[in-house]
Amino acid sequence: MQQWTDQINKVLQASGLKGVYFYTPLCGTCQLAERMLGVVKEIVPLIEFGKVDVNYVPDLAERYEIQSVPCLLIFKNNMVIKRIYAFQSVDVLYKHLKDLD
């Protein structure tokens, strides 16, 4: 998954569906969630995915009210349309994301 920490504001201004995965590097749950998301992103091609280390963007974490990591925010035209904290399984993630457009 592409690292968007440095260009996240520019990415969000672009049109279309964006999945922004917020994480911290030392979080074990985040590492597992990223693997699950890696599988899902291959079968949900309409969403462009990237990841952001929340340690470097505290202003964004506050703006989007990120309560914990891992966190996946789905943006459509710079607006949050879906927020996922519980990465239970690949199947559950897929069900959350398959019908977004």
pTM reported for the whole predicted model: 0.93
- Which pLDDT does position 101 carry in this prediction? 60
Residues ≥6 apart with Cβ < 8 Å to 41: 1, 19, 47, 49
- Which pLDDT does position 100 carry in this prediction? 82
Residues 29-48 pLDDT 10s: 999 999 999 999 999 988 99
CA distance 74 to 76: 7
**What domains, with CATH codes, occur in the chain?**
2-97 (3.40.30.10)
Residues 22-32 pLDDT 10s: 999 999 999 99
